[in-house]
């Protein structure tokens, strides 16, 4: 059987990139189900004679070994968030009403790739795979990392696992993460934490509600407080990070005629890189999270949710922009020259934070509009694929 990922040696750059993107997008890879796509990408990388390819779980690390004085890491995750009627993907021709107006206005003659992962982040993966096959004489040594489980709990993150199991595989002087940035530079990243705020009640027959205590009703003040939260803009080293505090899931009740005895509001806090993880946590639940109540629940001793039960689910630190690093500065300059784009802050969480903790300066540079990430109609104009591949090739070639 022919490998599913690959392109014709006679194809033009734009055809090759479009082919790679189509193949990546057509292979379903929601987090936890990246295996088949990883297998395909592994076969493709192993067919490149100038790369040494290693695999840990569903993470691939492919390196050149040309004896260059420095090494750059190009990293992209292969997983996507869950689909919302946006798989399988499709190419939209110019004029198709499914093309968003802002995309059509900026790229009136472009075909547009539509579907899950178009911006976050299979387009950058396609550009990196194209370079992995075609950039055989880069001016620096290169390490490509294609990894699993970026969109979910930090404990599952494939890059984290490979760093822990094989620290020698992930060495370098600088890293570029292909998270969507509209082919500009986005520096650092907001930190993120997710936790359940828990309200308890007493179960009873809903025809005799006075015999119980309705936990869903008792959660109403929490939702009111969250709805009134005003996000702050925080400037760090010249970039402006917007914070956020949102309920993203809610659950409670176990019968249509039973007064619910528990309600959980899952909260996601995004905090700027002027705060450590500990400082951010203190703002939410007090400096000391309080006594363990059992089952991982604590009472918040202070902060936004003072007095409520809290169960931590996930936490990842922020990262400062780090754009004064010489390699970062030279990439910023190239992007500015080629696109006129000035660096912005990365508002999502990305593995730039992991590289920063390893002492490897890193920036986000990727195809696709970050404003469209995780949306139902994620989409990418074909010319952004070319731009992304050209920027990387010019800087590395
Ligand atoms: N452990 C975290 C992982 C969340 C990662 C995710 N990152 C992106 O979507 C980057 C895209 C971008 O902003 O450009 C996120 O920020 O939610 C968790 O499970 O929450």
Query: pLDDT tens-digit profile of 153-205?
Result: 999 999 999 999 999 999 999 999 999 999 999 999 999 999 999 999 999 99
* Ligand 1 centroid distance, CA of 385 (Å): 22
pLDDT digits (tens, 9 = 90+) for 244-255: 999 999 999 999
Interface pTM (ipTM) of the complex? 0.98
Give the pLDDT of residue 345. 98
| Boundary (domain end) residue, out of 316, 335, 353 | 316
Both 178 and 244 in one domain: the answer is no
Which ligand 1 atom lies nearest to the CA of residue 189? 13
Q: Answer yes or no: is pLDDT of 66 > 90.
A: yes
Q: Is 79 a catalytic residue?
A: yes
Give the pLDDT of residue 199. 97
Give the pLDDT of residue 100. 98
Give the pLDDT of residue 288. 75
| Sheet-wide strand order for 244-252 | 244-252, 262-271, 191-200, 309-316, 297-299, 292-294
| Boundary (domain end) residue, out of 268, 298, 316 | 316
Give the pLDDT of residue 365. 98
| Boundary (domain end) residue, out of 316, 351, 378 | 316
User: Does residue 313 line the site of ligand 1, with CB under 6 A?
Assistant: no
Domain-located, residue 5: no
Structure confidence at residue 296 as a pLDDT band (50, 70, 90): confident
Query: Of residues 120, 150, 186, 369, which has the active-site annotation?
Result: 150
Both 159 and 215 in one domain: the answer is no
User: Does residue 120 line the site of ligand 1, with CB under 6 A?
Assistant: yes
Q: The domain spanning residue 348 has which CATH number? A: 3.40.630.10
Domain-located, residue 247: yes
Both 265 and 323 in one domain: the answer is no
Mutate to test the pocket of ligand 1, among 183, 196, 348 (most ligand atoms within 8 A of CB): 348
Q: Is 196 a catalytic residue?
A: no
The overall average pLDDT reported for the chain is 96
Both 226 and 335 in one domain: the answer is no
Please state the domain count of the chain: 2
Residues 90-106, mean pLDDT to the nearest whole number:
97
Domain-located, residue 222: yes
Both 305 and 363 in one domain: the answer is no
**CB of 381 closer than 8 Å to CB of 118:** no
Both 206 and 230 in one domain: the answer is yes
Both 360 and 257 in one domain: the answer is no
* Share above pLDDT 90 across residues of the chain, in percent, rounded to a whole number: 96
Structure confidence at residue 290 as a pLDDT band (50, 70, 90): low
User: What HEC string does the chain produce?
Assistant: CCCCCCCCCCCCHHHHHHHHHHHHHHCCCECCCCHHHHHHHHHHHHCCCCCEEEEECCEEEEECCCCCCCEEEEEEECCECCCCCCCCCEEECCCCCCCCHHHHHHCCCCCEEECCCCCCCHHHHHHHHHHHHHCCCCCCEEEEEEECCCCCCHHHCHHHHHHHHCHHHCCCCEEEECCCCCCCCEECECEEEEEEEEEECECCEHHHHHHCECHHHHCHHHHHHHHHCCCCEEEECCEEEECEEEEEEEEECCCCCECCCEEEEEEEEEECCCCCHHHHHHHHHCCCCCCEEECCEEECCCCCCCCCEEEEEEEECCECCCCCCHHHHHHHHHHHHHHCCCCEECCCCCCHHHHHHCCCCEEECCCCCHHHCCCCCCEEEHHHHHHHHHHHHHHHC
* Ligand 1 centroid distance, CA of 254 (Å): 31
User: Which residue range(s) make up the domain with 22?
Assistant: 13-188+319-396
Both 22 and 162 in one domain: the answer is yes
Residues 210-231, mean pLDDT to the nearest whole number:
98
Domain-located, residue 344: yes
User: Does residue 343 line the site of ligand 1, with CB under 6 A?
Assistant: no
Q: What is the pTM of this model?
A: 0.95
* Share above pLDDT 70 across residues of the chain, in percent, rounded to a whole number: 98
Both 94 and 176 in one domain: the answer is yes
Give the pLDDT of residue 218. 98
Give the pLDDT of residue 37. 98
Both 170 and 233 in one domain: the answer is no
Both 197 and 119 in one domain: the answer is no
Give the pLDDT of residue 266. 98
Give the pLDDT of residue 293. 61
Which ligand 1 atom lies nearest to the CA of residue 194? 20
The total number of residues shown for the chain amounts to: 397
Q: Answer yes or no: is pLDDT of 355 > 70.
A: yes
Q: Answer yes or no: is pLDDT of 292 > 70.
A: no
CA angle 376, 91, 79 (to 5 degrees): 50
pLDDT digits (tens, 9 = 90+) for 102-157: 999 999 999 999 999 999 999 999 999 999 999 999 999 999 999 999 999 999 99
Both 99 and 119 in one domain: the answer is yes
Query: Of residues 58, 79, 110, 125, which has the active-site annotation?
Result: 79
d(C-alpha 71, C-alpha 173), whole Å: 6
Q: The domain spanning residue 204 has which CATH number? A: 3.30.70.360
* Ligand 1 centroid distance, CA of 348 (Å): 5
Domain-located, residue 140: yes
**CB of 24 closer than 8 Å to CB of 128:** no
Mutate to test the pocket of ligand 1, among 349, 363, 364 (most ligand atoms within 8 A of CB): 349
């Amino acid at each position: 059987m022919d490998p599913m990922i690959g392109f014709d040696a006679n194809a033009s750059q734009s055809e090759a990139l479009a082919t790679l993107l189509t193949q990546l997008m057509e292979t379903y890879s929601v987090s936890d189900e990246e295996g088949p796509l990883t297998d395909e990408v592994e076969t493709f990388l192993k067919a490149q004679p100038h790369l040494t390819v290693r695999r840990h779980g569903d993470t691939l690390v492919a390196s050149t070994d040309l004896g260059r004085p420095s090494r750059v890491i190009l990293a992209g995750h292969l997983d996507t968030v869950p689909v919302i009627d946006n798989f399988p993907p499709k190419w939209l021709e110019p004029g198709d009403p499914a093309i968003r107006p802002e995309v059509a206005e900026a790229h009136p003659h472009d075909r547009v790739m539509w579907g899950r992962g178009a911006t976050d982040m299979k387009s950058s993966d396609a550009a990196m795979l194209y370079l992995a096959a075609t950039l055989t004489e880069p001016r620096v040594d290169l390490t490509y990392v294609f990894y699993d489980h970026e969109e979910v709990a930090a404990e599952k993150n494939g890059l984290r696992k490979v760093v822990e199991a094989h620290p020698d595989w992930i060495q370098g002087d600088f890293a570029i993460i292909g998270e969507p940035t509209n082919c500009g530079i986005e520096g650092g990243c907001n930190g993120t934490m997710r936790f359940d705020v828990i309200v308890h009640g007493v179960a009873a027959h809903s025809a005799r509600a006075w015999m119980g205590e309705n936990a869903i009703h008792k959660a109403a003040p929490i939702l009111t407080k969250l709805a009134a939260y005003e996000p702050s803009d925080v400037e760090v080293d010249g970039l402006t990070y917007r914070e956020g505090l949102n309920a993203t899931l809610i659950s409670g009740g176990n019968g249509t005629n039973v007064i619910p005895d528990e309600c959980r509001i899952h909260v996601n806090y995004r905090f700027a890189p002027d705060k450590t993880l500990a400082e951010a946590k203190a703002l939410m639940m007090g400096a000391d999270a309080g006594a363990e109540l059992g089952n991982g629940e604590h009472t918040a001793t202070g902060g936004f949710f003072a007095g409520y039960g809290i169960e931590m689910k996930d936490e990842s630190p922020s990262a400062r922009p780090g754009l004064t690093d010489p390699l970062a500065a030279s990439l910023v300059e190239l992007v500015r020259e080629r696109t006129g784009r000035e660096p912005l802050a990365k508002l999502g969480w990305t593995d730039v934070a992991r590289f920063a903790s390893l002492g490897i300066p890193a920036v986000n540079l990727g195809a696709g509009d970050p404003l469209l990430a995780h949306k139902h109609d994620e989409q990418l104009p074909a010319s952004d694929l070319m731009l992304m591949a050209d920027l990387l090739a010019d800087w590395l070639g």
